Chains A and B, each alone.
Chain A
Amino acid sequence: MLTPALAATTFLVLIPVVETLWMSLHNVILFRPRSAPFVGLANYAHALADPVFWSSLGNSVIWVGGAVSLQFGLGLGTALLLNRSFAWRGIARALVVVPWALPSVIIGLIWTWMLDFNLGVLNEIGVRLGLLSAPIAWLAQPDTAMAAVILAVVWQGFPFFAVTLLAGMQAIPFDLYEAAALDGAGPFLRFRYVTLPGLAEVIATTLLLRMIWVANSLDLIFVMTGGGPGTATQTLPLHAFLTAWSGGNYGEGSALAVIFTLILLSVVVIHVRRTHRQ
């Protein structure tokens, strides 16, 4: 049962992972393919000594915390609503997928444009409605830039939670709701004591997976701010990416990738231990 999946992952993925580990222990510069001397842990030491590493780590924490919690909240609310019956719910369910179905480059460009200082529709509406006294250069200031990229990724990702949680709700037997209603439980109590426990497993899994995905995703940030202004929106994977892609330093980029993976791995292991006790 398991063998095909295992074989595929081992063959196509484990090998590159091992190669990355190898690269992290050598001085690998992309445009110097002939010389790759063994440097032991030098790449790691250099990476950790760089203050940009620590600011990127901090940014990653804010990025993941903000993005996942907001996506989850909005997605759960949407799933609850889409689970109810109303005439046009088929179309509603299909349309909610739109943000999720767009490539990151498009999402990045459209949000950058909507947030544009001079020509952005959000500034325009904000000023017209009196919410803003003057247009804001969203992407040019560190705080608003982080808020802007989180907004864009929440927009992109909440349909994922909406769809997966909606699917999970289908496994909760209708009778449980009926029984609770008969016992006099209102909608909020029904949610707390029937829906939530029924969804617990799916919630735990989707939160974990989404956290890994968001932590690792850099497409949107790359298109919208390139990690800027300065390094205000540079997360750790983006730092690794730029080290390799722009600097050509695949040795240090690999070291950063390995460090990041180890951090994520420890979070995952803790989460798994606490929620899956079998």
Chain B
Amino acid sequence: MKRRTLLTGATAALATTPLARPHAQKAVTIRWWYHFDDPKATPDALIAAFEKTNPGIHVEAENIPWGGGGDYDNRLYTSLIAGNGPDVAMVKFVNQARLLEMEALLPLDTWIDAWPGKSDISNDVWRLHMGPDGKRYYLPLQYVVLYLYVRQDWLAQKNLKLPTTFPDFLAAAEATTGDNRWGFGLRGGSGGHDFWATFVLGNGAKIAKGGLTSPQALAANQWFIDLYRAHHVCPPSAPTDAFLQTINNMKAGRTAMTIHHIGSANELTAALGDAITAVPVPRGTNGPGWATYGDGSSAVFAASKNREAAWKWAAYLSTSATNVAFNKLSGQVTVTTSGAANWDVQPKRFIEATTNSLPMAQVLPNLPQTADFTRTVWPQTTQRALLGQISPDDMMRTFDKLFFA
């Protein structure tokens, strides 16, 4: 109640004084760049509370358009190169290799080790956030894990249980296809590499030298492409379907299963109620399984002139109660163990699916080509394979060439 009035009050104040930001009386100003999905969500309350307990610091926040990631990243890199970058910003693993090459990041180890909030974040999460040279540059901020959304009512009608293995999955998809409905909403457009990772990287392929073209890898990929081309369990629009289409198809009752994360749970529940549920993604027999870990961290930049203040703000965002508040704004899940215990933003079954997926949680390796792979090379190459313009094996060879030529 109190937070809401503070939020709307702060928004009203912001709306009436767009150019006047409280300045000048504060000792240091740190600039923080973020991106929220909901443009109505504003971090003003968090900033106000922080400034109250840290009177010497003023936080200047800027909401940068995401633009599929490209806009945000390019704005960040360009500003850092031109010497005009922020002090703290939200970053992802795909940025790390590039930021390290630019020597833009500050190692955070000494601060982290002295930070009381360190123990509130699980070791699994710290492990995933370790930098390539053993130093920690990223402070965990939020996360999601990709799982499988399932129309449990349709499966119940066919007397099928929720799928856990690949054969289960295929059977469920085939059983629910027909009559203008499809079993699996495949995502061939941007962001679809997460789907592919579950079926291919989790079942025998690896992004390592030779790991993409081994017989196991090629077989896994063939199975994946066959979902569309041979078994026809995906809508005809699948090659170019991206986030909006796969979720809309689910909402409109056209697909039985698709892969996404808790960020869309409330939307789907609003449209489908109890008919929709989620389970961890299916596991193959040839690999450890792969549930894409959607990361989100804070980074402090080496060019910052107020490093201590910048760290304080970053740490603040990742501390228990404030991290929970932050994630309610950003629509993802808190990284803190204490916060997760009482998390109630989405229905319980989705949170369970998320936490049950953690043992399978993986991220793509932090190579410089990874960003290009996820944004351009994967969609374009996969679309050509789905359309039959190239063979699935050639698709894997293209990826191999991108990373290891």
Q: Which positions in A face B, CB cutoff 8 Å?
A: 30-33, 116-119, 137, 139-142, 145, 225-231, 234, 242, 245-248
Most buried by A among B102, B241, B383: B383
Of B113-121, B246-254, B285-293, B294-302, the one contacting chain A is: B246-254
A31-B368, A139-B240, A142-B387 are contacts. A117–B376 as well, Cβ < 8 Å?
no
Partner of A137, one of B70, B237, B371: B237
A229-B384, A230-B384 are contacts. A140–B237 as well, Cβ < 8 Å?
yes
A245-B70, A246-B372 are contacts. A229–B102 as well, Cβ < 8 Å?
no
Nearest CB of chain B from residue A106's CB, rounded to whole Å: 14
Nearest CB of chain B from residue A225's CB, rounded to whole Å: 6
Contacts of A230 in B (CB 8 A): 380-381, 383-384, 387, 389
B228-270 interface bits toward A, Cβ cutoff 8 Å, 1 = contact, 0 = none: 0000000111111100010011001010000000000000000
Q: By DSSP majority rule, is chain A's interface helix, strand, loop, or mixed?
A: loop
Partner of B387, one of A30, A229, A245, A247: A229
Contacts of B74 in A (CB 8 A): 30, 245
Nearest A residue to B255 via CB reads: A118
- Is B101 part of the contact surface with A, judged by Cβ < 8 Å? yes
Contacts of A119 in B (CB 8 A): 248-249, 252
Contacts of B376 in A (CB 8 A): 226-227, 242, 246-247
In the bound complex, CA of A142 to CA of B252 (Å): 26
Nearest CB of chain B from residue A49's CB, rounded to whole Å: 14
For residues 188 through 208 of chain B, which have their beta carbon under 8 Å from a beta carbon of chain A?
A: 188-190
Contacts of B372 in A (CB 8 A): 246-248
In the bound complex, CA of A248 to CA of B383 (Å): 22
Q: Are A140 and B236 in contact (CB under 8 A)?
A: yes
In the bound complex, CA of A32 to CA of B70 (Å): 17
A32-B101, A140-B240 are contacts. A118–B235 as well, Cβ < 8 Å?
yes
Contacts of A117 in B (CB 8 A): 235-237, 245
In the bound complex, CA of A228 to CA of B238 (Å): 12
Contacts of A118 in B (CB 8 A): 235, 237, 245, 248-249, 252, 254
Contacts of B241 in A (CB 8 A): 140
Contacts of B307 in A (CB 8 A): none
Q: Are B240 and A225 in contact (CB under 8 A)?
A: yes
A118-B249, A230-B387, A245-B74 are contacts. A31–B235 as well, Cβ < 8 Å?
no
Nearest A residue to B389 via CB reads: A230
Inter-chain pairs besides A118-B245, A227-B380, A228-B383, 16 sampled, C-beta below 8 Å: A30-B74, A30-B98, A31-B98, A31-B101, A31-B102, A33-B81, A116-B245, A119-B248, A119-B252, A140-B236, A226-B376, A228-B380, A230-B381, A242-B376, A247-B372, A247-B376
Nearest A residue to B368 via CB reads: A31
Contacts of B249 in A (CB 8 A): 118-119
In the bound complex, CA of A247 to CA of B74 (Å): 11
In the bound complex, CA of A200 to CA of B189 (Å): 45
Q: Are A33 and B102 in contact (CB under 8 A)?
A: yes
Contacts of A137 in B (CB 8 A): 235-237, 239-240
Q: List 8 A-B contacts (CB under 8 A).
A: A32-B102, A33-B81, A119-B252, A137-B236, A228-B380, A229-B384, A246-B371, A246-B376
In the bound complex, CA of A34 to CA of B114 (Å): 34
Nearest CB of chain A from residue B41's CB, rounded to whole Å: 21
Nearest A residue to B369 via CB reads: A247
Partner of A229, one of B81, B239, B252: B239
In the bound complex, CA of A146 to CA of B248 (Å): 24
Q: Are A31 and B237 in contact (CB under 8 A)?
A: no
In the bound complex, CA of A242 to CA of B380 (Å): 11
Contacts of A247 in B (CB 8 A): 372, 376
Nearest B residue to A229 via CB reads: B383
Nearest CB of chain A from residue B158's CB, rounded to whole Å: 22
- Is B47 part of the contact surface with A, judged by Cβ < 8 Å? no
B86-113 interface bits toward A, Cβ cutoff 8 Å, 1 = contact, 0 = none: 0000000000011101100000000000
